[in-house]
Chains A and B, each alone.
Chain A
Amino acid sequence: MTTLARSPLQAGRATVNEIEPSFDVEKVRADFPILHQQAHGHPLIYLDNAATSQKPKAVIDAIVQYYEHYNANIHRGVHYLSERATAQYEAARKTVQRFINASRPAEIIFLRGTTEAINLVAQTYGRVHVGAGDEVLITTMEHHSNIVPWQMLCEEKRAKLRVAPINDAGELILDEFEKLLAPRTKIVAVGHVSNALGTVNPIAAIVKMAHARNIPVLVDGAQAVPRMPVDVQQLDCDFYTFSGHKTYGPTGIGVLYGKLPLLEAMPPYQGGGEMISSVSFEKTVYNKVPHKFEAGTPDISGPIGLRAAIEYLEALGMENIARHEHDLLNYATEKVSTIPGVRIIGTAKEKDGVLSFVMEGVHPHDIGTILDQEGIAIRTGHHCAQPVMARFGLDATARASFGVYNTMEEVEALVRGLKKVREVFG
């Protein structure tokens, strides 16, 4: 079944590689209406993809189609519109399953985003399994959304939050990580790709180490899913999360993948409609997974838009996207490094999509304003990863992050913009 479902994608990828050796970025750009505008009198250059990505026309159209033609509540109505909406919502679940290679659709839960997905696991799996004196293990490079939910859990349960250190390149120190896997460690939560540094963590190796001690692993895949092929069965992680809006889909929709036996054993997250089989004042019987975790009327247009985004990415081929963004990152790293006083933060050997840097004598916020005047959008600040900033002794960095539609010419414009920053600040 799994092999059958995946084969069209694999075949498609091979064909793309054979016929189209180079990624046609101009064709991609034509699919994104928002890119064709000026910002402060310059062509818009969007290099803030790690914050959120832009949406192809196909995604916008899918959402409009839903509202114009089959908007209805799902899983309830016997009528025509409800049947269509339900079918599309569940089709989106199957698309996500295929995309990250989960073993079945029930392992895909639709939520608001990565943040809610991590909170769900902390508040359900975590509250059952983590007790006083137990430990939760994360890493220094986590986004606040993979720190705070665990901190809240540890505070409530009087458990300990342990943090595996990183080296000066921004790589997880695996030996130290392994040493922190203790008899009281109840769960490991780790990012796949760091949003502040671009570091790609060796998830398969991390999972193997944790599983050898029967510790489950949650992976925050918010920055990985838009950038590289992800196969949750190959990674063998227990939970995997990502956000629609960073994956060229709409905001307000995200995914929690969990291995079915774990999800089935977990208590519900929120109570309400949809998540029940039957309700009386004496006893309520909860619905099956995944509906058990989707209380209330969900975001219906969200999964429909996300499905369109995934199909768009599949047509481009995730391998091709990964290669394209890697080329952009390498070129940008090389060029930006030559600007006097620039220091790149995060120099991991395995790195993707994100170029964080500081410039001597210029605060990142000022870099951001000057680039903005050139039509270039980057992110400046702590990137919701203050412990990472603290690790490097910084308050903030400037961050350029790449997407499918970025070009080498845009990288060159970034470099020209940074030279202008140097001129202004001397």
Chain B
Amino acid sequence: MPDLRDLYQELILEHSKAPRNYRELREADHKAEGYNPLCGDHFTVFLHMEGDTIRDVTFQGSGCAISKASASMMTQSLKGKTRAEAEELFERFHKLVTGQSGDQAELGKLAVFAGVSEFPTRVKCATLAWHTLEAALEGKQDAVSTE
């Protein structure tokens, strides 16, 4: 039986209450909106790229504890990463939250989201910011949706 404590880890609760990099990025050259129509979660991810490298990344919006903490911790883990590295990290993170085996060591603090895999309805919450990031990297104009 899934345990709530696996999902609502202390670090996740802490990030959901005090999200990092939670602001509009004035010098953003990439930005995208992500939306989960099922629960109304809505985030904007701002990127400042220098060549192929993410110089700065921030987000704004509203959502549940899981989606907000995931967005917050995502921004922390991306600074200085190349586009390819960011995409690879998302792939690892996606495997983690969907319960597929993967190398958790590479994920660092993001491994705290492992408990999400026990709660299939919350996978979309954990990945919303990441999907939005992907759209921002690709320069998509339309808001991405989890549906």
**Interface size class, chain A:** 20 to 34
State A365–B126 Cα separation when bound (angstroms).
12
State A319–B42 Cα separation when bound (angstroms).
42
Interface SS, B side: mixed
The residues of A that contact B63 with a CB separation of less than 8 Å are 363, 365, 395
| Cβ-neighbour of B4 out of A365, A381, A424 (below 8 A) | A424
**Contact assessment for B8 and A386 in the assembled complex, using a CB-CB cutoff below 8 Å:** no
**Contact assessment for A395 and B13 in the assembled complex, using a CB-CB cutoff below 8 Å:** no
- Min CB gap B142→A, angstroms: 18
B22 in the interface (beta carbon within 8 A): no
- Min CB gap A214→B, angstroms: 39
- Min CB gap A196→B, angstroms: 12
The residues of A that contact B8 with a CB separation of less than 8 Å are 366, 370, 424-425
Q: A365-B64, A366-B66, A369-B119 are in contact. Are A395 and B4 (CB under 8 A)?
A: no
The residues of A that contact B1 with a CB separation of less than 8 Å are 40-41
Q: A365-B125, A373-B2 are in contact. Are A381 and B38 (CB under 8 A)?
A: yes
Chain A residue with Cβ nearest B63: A363
| Cβ-neighbour of A395 out of B2, B41, B65, B66 (below 8 A) | B41
State A305–B125 Cα separation when bound (angstroms).
37
| Cβ-neighbour of B65 out of A363, A373, A386 (below 8 A) | A363
**Contact assessment for B40 and A369 in the assembled complex, using a CB-CB cutoff below 8 Å:** no
**Contact assessment for B4 and A363 in the assembled complex, using a CB-CB cutoff below 8 Å:** no
State A40–B1 Cα separation when bound (angstroms).
7
State A426–B17 Cα separation when bound (angstroms).
11
The residues of A that contact B68 with a CB separation of less than 8 Å are 363
The residues of A that contact B121 with a CB separation of less than 8 Å are 369
Interface residues of B in 14-49 (CB under 8 A from A): 17, 38-42
B146 in the interface (beta carbon within 8 A): no
The residues of A that contact B100 with a CB separation of less than 8 Å are none
Convert B45-89 into 0s and 1s, putting 1 for each residue whose CB lies closer than 8 angstroms to a CB of A. Answer: 000000000000000001111101000000000000000000000
Which of B4, B7, B8, B125 counts the most A-chain CB atoms under 10 A from its CB? B4
The residues of B that contact A41 with a CB separation of less than 8 Å are 1
**Contact assessment for B42 and A395 in the assembled complex, using a CB-CB cutoff below 8 Å:** yes
Chain B residue with Cβ nearest A367: B64
The residues of B that contact A386 with a CB separation of less than 8 Å are 40
The residues of A that contact B66 with a CB separation of less than 8 Å are 365-366
Convert B86-100 into 0s and 1s, putting 1 for each residue whose CB lies closer than 8 angstroms to a CB of A. Answer: 000000000000000
State A426–B12 Cα separation when bound (angstroms).
13
- Min CB gap A278→B, angstroms: 45
Which of A361, A382, A396 counts the most B-chain CB atoms under 10 A from its CB? A396
- Min CB gap B102→A, angstroms: 24
A389 in the interface (beta carbon within 8 A): yes
The residues of A that contact B38 with a CB separation of less than 8 Å are 381
- Min CB gap A425→B, angstroms: 7
State A179–B143 Cα separation when bound (angstroms).
38
A362 in the interface (beta carbon within 8 A): yes
Interface residues of B in 114-147 (CB under 8 A from A): 119, 121-122, 125
A380 in the interface (beta carbon within 8 A): yes
The residues of B that contact A425 with a CB separation of less than 8 Å are 8, 13, 65
State A370–B62 Cα separation when bound (angstroms).
19
Interfacial residues, chain B to chain A (CB-CB below 8 A): 1-2, 4, 7-8, 13, 17, 38-42, 62-66, 68, 119, 121-122, 125
22 A-B residue pairs with Cβ-Cβ distance under 8 Å, sorted by A, are: A40-B2, A41-B1, A363-B63, A363-B64, A365-B39, A365-B41, A365-B64, A365-B66, A366-B8, A366-B66, A369-B119, A369-B121, A370-B4, A380-B39, A381-B38, A382-B39, A386-B40, A395-B62, A395-B63, A424-B13, A425-B65, A426-B13
- Shortest beta-carbon contacts, A-B, top 5: A363-B64, A365-B64, A395-B40, A381-B39, A396-B40
